Amino acid sequence: MNFYDARENRDPESRERDLMARLPAQIAHARASTTAFARLLADVDADAVASRGALAALPVTRKSELLEMQKAARPFGGFAAVGWGAACRRVFASPGPLYEPEGAHPDYYRLARALFAAGFRAGDLVHNTFSYHFTPAGSMMETAAHAIGCTVFPAGIGQTEQQLAAIADLQPDAYVGTPSFLRILLDKADEFGVKPSFTKAFVSGEAFPPSLRDVFAARGIQAFQAYATADIGLIAYETEAREGLVVDEDVVLEIVRPGTGDPVAPGEVGEVVVTTFNPDYPLVRFGTGDLSALLPGTSPCGRTNLRIKGWMGRADQTTKVKGMFVHPGQIAQVVRRHPEITRARLVVDNPGLNDRMTLMCEAAGGGSEALAAAIAASLRELTKLRGEVAFLPGGALANDGKVIDDVRTYA
């Protein structure tokens, strides 16, 4: 079995001890080297953050909050430990705009591990169709390929016919880009009578269903996907087992209840929160806004790290009711006030085109009229809106991460 390094198949308990042993120094570094974490972690004893429980007590910084902080203090909102110069080779912009620094150390985004799992090897020629402009995707993939020992053709996006000409001339081994553009290239190649030389592909940035994976396999291309962000870099990646995504070795991943920082039980859908050990951009408990869930056990491929199901939607379910915003965090506050509630979901509908809120609750003992009245009072106090309360039997609410379900129609 080929692994990128010996860490991938080590004993899970050994990995966990290593991650937790690294946490205190990273927390101390983030606080000492960035103005944002100097403020957010001012009262935190870094040496005490050496367990998942201690980490879970720290505040979550969500992507939407990071954007507002960056707008207030350009370019990085006080979250970067580097400034312009040799330590920061590039700066990129993602929609928002959010700005991300790219540090100088090799494979800055740690994607080489994912490319290796996808079969990329030293000596391969990689056709990289991710953008090299504004966003970091092109650089993320190129620096990873270089770390493995690949040569990269920086194709970028668009110019399909010119790309096919380059493919015909250079005969690259591997494709990197979105799955939809790979399909476009293959269809256009058929039209022009070109036989693409790709035998492997690494795709990201879009959904990659098994049906599309099978289309590529039928053309002789084994394609694998990964979950990465511009802020964090690699979070998790697919292996030949095709059973979920294996978490990267250099992040601490948590799944939390949307709108809170509270970890959920294994298998329950929640928001992906990541702590990175990147010294240049030391994000601590960064809420990606993406939903996923942990899978039980370890991968049949032999890699022993945690696995997630993959991308399962967005966690930010904020909605507007009668002109007032209602946030998942407010629903979490209601639940915390009433320990009898084991799970809850706010359903927003509009019978007769009149907005209505109903808090659907699973409750110990099945609930009572008195409890319903108390919950309704909390809901009104915290949201400034009237809402109904309904009790459901345990297990009735779907395990899909939804805290607010807006089912209004306007036909």
Q: Is the peptide bond before 75 cis (omega within 30 degrees of 0)?
A: yes
pLDDT in the model for residue 203: 95
As a whole number of angstroms, the distance between CA 156 and CA 139 comes to 10
In sequence order, the 6+-apart residues with CB closer than 8 A to the CB of 406 are 317, 319, 348
CATH at 402? 3.30.300.30
pLDDT in the model for residue 351: 87
Report pLDDT digits (tens) over 136-162. 999 999 999 999 999 999 999 889 999
Q: 134 in the Ramachandran plot: left (φ > 0), alpha (ψ -120 to 50) or beta?
A: left
120 and 235 assigned to the same domain:
yes
219, part of any domain: yes
pLDDT in the model for residue 75: 95
50 and 81 assigned to the same domain:
yes
Residues of the chain with pLDDT under 70: 1, 323, 410-411
As a whole number of angstroms, the distance between CA 177 and CA 156 comes to 9
pLDDT in the model for residue 1: 55
250 and 392 assigned to the same domain:
no
pLDDT in the model for residue 67: 87
Looking at the 3D structure of the chain, how many domains does it have?
2
pLDDT in the model for residue 172: 98
As a whole number of angstroms, the distance between CA 160 and CA 201 comes to 17
126 and 262 assigned to the same domain:
yes
Q: Which of 249, 284, 308 corresponds to the end of one domain?
A: 308
pLDDT in the model for residue 322: 80
60 and 164 assigned to the same domain:
yes
Q: Which of 308, 340, 371 corresponds to the end of one domain?
A: 308
- Percentage helix, strand, coil, to 5, in the chain? 30, 25, 45
pTM of the shown model: 0.84
pLDDT in the model for residue 206: 82
- Give residue for tokens 């580097």: 82
As a whole number of angstroms, the distance between CA 359 and CA 348 comes to 9
- Give the structural domain span for 367: 319-406
pLDDT in the model for residue 266: 93
How buried is 364 (Cβ within 10 angstroms: 0-12 exposed, 13-18 middle, 19+ buried)?
exposed
411, part of any domain: no
